[in-house]
Amino acid sequence: MIEALVGILGAATPLIYVTLAGVLAQRSGIPHLGLEGLMIAGACAAVVASKQSSSVAFGLAVAIGVCVLGSLLLWFVIEKLRANPIIAGLGLTGLGLGGSDLAIQSIYGSEGAVRAPFALPHLGAWAGEFAGLSVLVLALPFVVGLLWLALRRTRFGLRLAASGEHPFAARSVGADPAQMRLIALALGGVLCALGGAELALGSLDVFSIGMTAGRGFMAFAAVTFGAANPLGASAAATFFALAEYLGIKAQLVLGSAAPPELLLSLPYLATIGGVWLSTRLRGGINRGSTISELREY
C-alpha cells in the first residue's frame, strides 16, 4: 500500500508542477500548449547543467532560467506579435523537444540518454518508507496551497482571472491583461522547470530524449479537467498518474499475458476519458472560450 503511494507520488509530482503552470496560464487567458516543450527543456537543462557543474542547485537554477526564458518568448510571440496562442504554444513544444534533442546530441554525441552525477536531494531516513522521494515532492503541497490562495483568495488572483475572462474589465480597473499574462507565464516557467527537473532527477538521475512522453499535454488535459482550479487540476493530474502507475504495475504482474502496448497507453486513455468526462459534466464545450476572448479588447 505504502509502496503504491510512493509510486503514485513519484509519478504525480512532475505532472502536478507542470499542471499548475498550465492553470496559471489558463486563468490569465492563454491555453498553454507549450507545457510539453518547457517540461522537457527543464529536464534537459537540469541534467546537463548539473552534470557540467557537478551541482544540483546550479542545474535547477539553469533549468528555471531556461524555462522562464521560453515562457517570455511565448509571451512575446502572443502579446507583441499577436500570434494565435495555440499555434505559439505548439511551436514552443516543438522548440523544446527539438532543442533538447539537439543540445544532447551536440554535447554528448548520439547517446540518446545522459546520466547526471546525482539526483535531487531525497527526504532521507527520517521519512521512513518515503525516504526515496525528492524534496520537490515534500514541497508540492505547499506550492499547491500557496497557488490556490493566490489565485482564489487574493485580489491578484481575481485580476488574473479577469484578464483571462474579460480583458476589458481588467483593463478598466487598471490591471493590464498583458502584464498579468507575463506574470502568469513567467511563474509557470518556474513551475515547468521544477516539474522537468523532478521528472529527470527526482526518482531517476537520467535524461533521455523525449522522456516527457506527452506529460505536458496530459497536464494541459488536467487543467481542463480541473476547470483551471489548482486543487481540481492537481487532483486530475494525480488521477492520470494513478493510471500510469497502474499500467506499470500491471505490466509487472501480468507479464506477457497482456499486451504491453495497451498497458502503457493507460494514462493516455485515462486522459481522454477525463477530458470527455469533464466536458460532459459541464454540459458541452465551453462556448466563450478564452481563446476568442483573448482578442476582445
Residue ranges in contact with other proteins by CB under 8 A? 149, 153-155, 158-159, 161-162, 165-166, 168-175, 287-288
In the complex, least distance from residue 170 CB atom to other proteins, rounded to whole angstroms: 8
| Nearer Cβ to other proteins (173/272) | 173
54/286 with CB nearer other proteins: 286
> C-beta of 145: minimal distance to other proteins in Å?
11
**Cβ proximity to other proteins, 133 vs 228, nearer residue:** 228
- Between 117 and 157, name the residue whose CB sits nearer to other proteins: 157
Q: Which grid coordinates belong to 61?
A: 537554477
Contacts of 284 (CB under 8 A, 6+ apart): none
- Side chain identity at residue 10, one-letter code: G
Task: Scan for cell 554535447, then name that residue.
Answer: 107
Shortest reach from residue 68's CB to other proteins, in Å:
24
DSSP 56-68: HHHHHHHHHHHHH
CB of residue 288 to other proteins, shortest distance in Å: 8
Residue 80 or 155 with smaller CB distance to other proteins: 155
Of 129 and 296, CB closest to other proteins? 296
Helix (H, G, I), strand (E, B) or coil at 69: helix
Residues 286 and 110: their CA atoms lie apart, in Å, by 45
What ranges make up the beta strands (E) of 156-260?
Answer: 206-208
Q: Residue 8 or 161: which CB sits closer to other proteins?
A: 161
Residue 23 grid coordinates: 492553470
**CA pair distance 38, 192, nearest whole angstrom:** 6
CB of 129 to other proteins, least distance (A): 35
Q: How far apart (Å, rounded) are the C-alpha atoms in residues 242 and 274?
A: 13
* Chain center to CA of 124: 26
Closest separation in Å from C-beta 84 to other proteins: 15
Q: Which is nearer to other proteins, 101 or 293 (CB)?
A: 293
CB of 176 to other proteins, least distance (A): 9
E strand or H helix at 193, and its extent?
Answer: helix 177-201
Q: Look up cell 481588467; give the residue.
A: 170
Of residues 178, 238, 195, 217, the one with CA closest to residue 7: 238
Question: Shortest approach of other proteins to residue 156 CB, angstroms?
Answer: 8
CA 208 to chain centre: 17
Question: 272, 288, 291: which is closest to 280 by C-alpha?
Answer: 272
